[in-house]
Amino acid sequence: MFVRVCPYFPFSARVCLNQHHWLAIRMTEEGIDFQQSTNAFLRCGNPTRLQELADSLTTQDLLRCGQKWLATFTPFITDQERRQAGCQHRLFFSQVEYCDNLIFHRRAAVEELTQRLLDLNRNIGQPKKITTIFGRKITKEYKGKLQSVIEDLDLPNPVIRSHYGHGFAKQYVRDDRLLRTEPATNNVYDYGVNKNVENLPQLRTAMSEIIDNYHNVQQDVLETFIDRGQLGKLAEPTVLPSGRRIPGLKLDHPRQLAVMHSLVRFSNIAAGGKFTTADLYNPALEVLGLTGSQYSLASFRYDLSKLRAKGLVEKVPRSRRYRLVGKGYSICVAFLKLFEKIYAPLTAGLLVPFRGDHALAEEKRCALDRLYQRICDDLDELFRAVGLKVAA
């Protein structure tokens, strides 16, 4: 700790405490094995007791420690004057940092996680998210900084810092295995807590809630279905070892969808999951509404080869038969569902809507129409959330 005293009247002072050092002394006294790296514990023989000790810091500890030193360092005032005139320092929060430390088993796990967090959380400073994290509503009267920045502070990993009011919440990795989330402020009013040091428990609760909110928001982002390139890879052409280039899968390609239709037929399952191209060809023609001269078997095989190249269909060894492998069935169903149940009807509804539909009362529209409308509305909301403008 340090005490900074102004030697001039009225002897204003500052007291700075570091709870990591405070905890280190307590753990040494209790004989707990630990490894400290300046402002962090990387190893602890009794983490439960460590947390108990951390929570045991009370207002009285701060007052006892601060007042003792401040009384020593202001010799101008006598003990009698302190008692009678109340000439002793009163302590108020000036700057507070509260940290959550997650120490991982492996360095690789933290690195992988932080890379994803950095990538996915770049939008965490949006006003709505800040409201979620800090639990304070952002109104038009708000004058403070409101942004997220990724900073390189000579640490091995960048720091994500989300500003709010007179403070911020930051997250970074230190000492390879420790992921730290730390809200800090220069004005505890930002958290709805008064500055008097007696409000330490309320401050701890408020800052702890900020950390929980920060983590929950991040988990929301991590768990969301976000494109990580898999769809793009399916759409990319495949180059075989022989050098032959086979086009990728296209979500809106009618022939591609017709092949998928023929692949997911239940009759194939009944046939033990194996089929010949001849078995699939006719159903594909039916789906397309074409004749054999318009869509040849060779063309069909060419389209099937695109799925084979992506490893969704394979040829059964020593046979003319094929079978779906891995996630082949699920991918085909997903493509078909997306196109036929989502893209096609939504596009029709958006580009050529039935004029009378808008005039209809909500309850008079059919259930399917209502559901599609809800998807349109939710898509608008999603576009806003991910930063895309809503189509006019």
Partner 1 sequence: MNAFFEHHKDSIQFSYRCFDRILLNGLIQPFQQPERVLGFFNVYRKGTRVTRKVLTGIADQFQYWLKNRSEKWGAPVIEAPDEQRRDAFVESYLRDCPADHVAVILKAREPARILVAIGAENNNSPHLEFKQRWVQSVQLLSQR
Residues 368-387 within binding reach of partner 1 (CB under 8 A) = none
1 vs 350, which CB is nearer to partner 1?
1
- Name which of residues 295 to 314 contact partner 1 (CB under 8 A): none
Q: How far apart are CA 332 and CA 9, in angstroms?
A: 80
Pattern of binders to partner 1 over 111-150, x per CB under 8 A? --x-------------------------------------
Region binding partner 1 by CB under 8 A among candidate stretches 12-20, 142-150, 318-326, 332-340: 12-20
- Name which of residues 27 to 56 contact partner 1 (CB under 8 A): 38-39, 41, 44, 47, 50-51, 54
| Number of chain residues interacting with partner 1 (CB under 8 A) | 84
Q: Binding residue for partner 1 (CB under 8 A) from 92, 189, 354, 383?
A: 92
Determine the 3-state secondary structure of 169 from DSSP: strand
5 vs 297, which CB is nearer to partner 1?
5
Q: Is 86 a residue that touches partner 1 (CB under 8 A)?
A: yes
**Residue 22 contacts residue 57 (beta carbons within 8 Å):** yes
Q: Which long-range contacts (CB under 8 A, 24 or more apart) does 306-309 make?
A: 306/238, 306/246, 306/247, 306/248, 306/249, 306/256, 307/249, 307/259, 307/260, 307/263, 307/332, 309/238, 309/240, 309/246
Q: How far apart are CB 192 and partner 1 at their closest, in Å?
A: 18
Tokens of 205: 């609760």
Q: How far apart are CB 215 and partner 1 at their closest, in Å?
A: 3
- Name which of residues 218 to 277 contact partner 1 (CB under 8 A): 218-220, 222-223
Q: Is 20 a residue that touches partner 1 (CB under 8 A)?
A: yes
**Looking at the DSSP assignment, which residues form a beta bridge with residue 185?**
96, 167
Q: Is 71 a residue that touches partner 1 (CB under 8 A)?
A: no
Residue 174 parent element (H or E): strand 167-174
Q: Is 19 a residue that touches partner 1 (CB under 8 A)?
A: yes
Q: Which residues lie below 8 Å from residue 156, measured CB to CB, with a gap of 6+?
A: 173, 176
Q: Which long-range contacts (CB under 8 A, 24 or more apart) does 339-348 make?
A: 339/251, 339/252, 339/257, 340/257, 342/375, 343/251, 343/252, 345/372, 346/372, 346/375, 346/376, 346/379
Region binding partner 1 by CB under 8 A among candidate stretches 93-101, 299-307, 308-316, 360-368: 93-101
Q: Which has the closest alpha carbon to 350: 319, 386, 375, 333?
A: 375
- Name which of residues 176 to 195 contact partner 1 (CB under 8 A): 177, 182, 184
Q: How far apart are CA 288 and CA 364, in angstroms?
A: 35
- Name which of residues 348 to 367 contact partner 1 (CB under 8 A): none
Q: How far apart are CB 4 and partner 1 at their closest, in Å?
A: 4
- Name which of residues 95 to 114 contact partner 1 (CB under 8 A): 95-106, 109, 113
